[in-house]
Copies of this chain bind each other. A is one copy, B any other.
């Protein structure tokens, strides 16, 4: 099955990255606000966009190293997909290896989401390096899906 994969290096500590991936305020700063934290396995977060948003269940956490979600609800193509953020060190940077796996087909919507995930991972980088991300709502859409 096709996957979306991205990798970004961030001049920030692993704890700063881990918080930005597990805390409500952190997630709101680079992607979009969820209705709670994702700091415990089993937590369910609905991420708020203009018209609803996906619900993620936190299915694995390895402190400072890994965050893994399963999409319980959201766009049909996302249902039961898994999203993993692997956190590691490389030189002076904290590296995030992102994977969105379980797509049934390499569809147009997947290609849109791939581009958009890169946009938001660069937003995570900006948030942690400059104190300011570019979360939803973004200043311009990437294609017809937002």
On A, residues with C-beta under 8 Å from B are 2-9, 90-91, 93, 95, 97-99, 106, 108, 110-112, 114-115, 117-119, 121-122, 125, 129, 140-144
Contacts and interface: CB of A to CB of B under 8 A. Distances in A.
A119 B4 CA distance: 15
A3 B106 contact: yes
A90 to B, nearest CB: 6
What's the number of copies of this chain in the assembled complex? 2
Contact of A8 (B106, B115, B121): B115
A74 B89 CA distance: 27
A85 to B, nearest CB: 12
B114 A4 contact: yes
A146 to B, nearest CB: 10
A98 B117 CA distance: 15
A111 to B, nearest CB: 4
A5 B110 contact: yes
Contact of A114 (B6, B95, B142): B6
A91 B6 contact: no
Contacts of A5: 2, 106, 110-111, 114
B4 A90 contact: no
A99 B20 CA distance: 30
